[in-house]
Amino acid sequence: MRLGVNIDHVATLRQARGESYPSIVEAAHICLDSGADQITIHLREDRRHIQDTDVEAVRLVTKKFGKPLNLEVGVDPEIIDIAIATAPDWICVVPEKREEKTTEGGLDLKSSENFEKVKKACEKLKKEIPGVMISLFVEADEETLRASKKINCDAVEIHTGDFARAHLNGEDTSHFVEQFRKSKALCSELGLGHHAGHGLTAESVEPLVKEKLFVEYNIGHWVICQAVFEGLSQVVGKLKAQIQ
């Protein structure tokens, strides 16, 4: 099982004051040096945290370590062009609304209009970046997963935000876990990688890891928050050990 660390919120702190610190490059270096299997960043249309220049800078760090860069993008043509210019190892296509605090759910592939937009973007990415791997950020329902298979992608990243919030609130999460079991089985049948991301903490990821429900976990906000108290290296190192 792989650990991807999302370092967007290091950039959030930097952008809050418009300073040159904290360094997104140093954050990527520390995470990989502490055991992370990949770095994840999201270049949003509104540029609220990661900036265009960060993408290439982080890409250089991941190349140095021989580890993947997982670039999250919406389907805006400008963002797609930046992704092509950077040529990351993985691209995760995500939904995006300017007014949202954070990504609120998976791609709506049940809408024919959205499906075509995502399909067109993925086809362009595959054509322009030799060997790129693509995941789609989606909900764990059968119709959406089967629609994902019709798009030229390699994996899905299941939106775990609702599960993570319920876990944080001490609610019963058994129905979420059962849903993830079903999505894992269907992805295996469809030949798609089964990844997880959004809202996860060291506590909420535990039951998912125990059942080996996913092959990759992308965790960000909690890591950066916990690093305030423990240090980034310590948090990433412990999380990697927990997943192993």
CATH of the domain at 93: 3.20.20.70
- Name 4's bridge partners: 38, 218
Calpha distance 139→109 (Å, rounded): 10
101-105, 113-117, 196-200, 239-243: least confidently modelled range: 101-105
pLDDT in tens, 157-166: 999 999 999 9
**Percent of the chain whose predicted confidence (pLDDT) is above 90:** 95
Q: Which residue has the tokens 């960060």?
A: 54
pTM of the predicted structure, to 2 decimals:
0.95
> Would the pLDDT of 88 be above 70?
yes
198 catalytic residue (yes or no): yes
Catalytic one among 49, 167, 194, 198? 198
pLDDT reported for residue 199:
96
Instruction: Give helix then strand counts, H and E, for the chain.
Output: 11, 8
> Would the pLDDT of 198 be above 90?
yes
Catalytic one among 42, 159, 167, 195? 42
Q: How many domains does the chain have?
A: 1
- For 222, the domain range is 2-243
pLDDT reported for residue 97:
64
pLDDT reported for residue 135:
98
Catalytic one among 9, 29, 72, 159? 72
**Percent of the chain whose predicted confidence (pLDDT) is above 70:** 97
Who contacts 189 (Cβ-Cβ below 8 Å, separation ≥6)?
none
> Would the pLDDT of 86 be above 60?
yes
| Mean pLDDT across the chain | 96
pLDDT reported for residue 105:
80
Calpha distance 12→2 (Å, rounded): 25
157 catalytic residue (yes or no): no
Q: Is-contact 135 90, C-beta < 8 A?
A: yes
> Would the pLDDT of 98 be above 60?
no
194 catalytic residue (yes or no): no
**Is residue 126 within a helix (H) or strand (E), and if so which, with residue range?**
helix 112-128
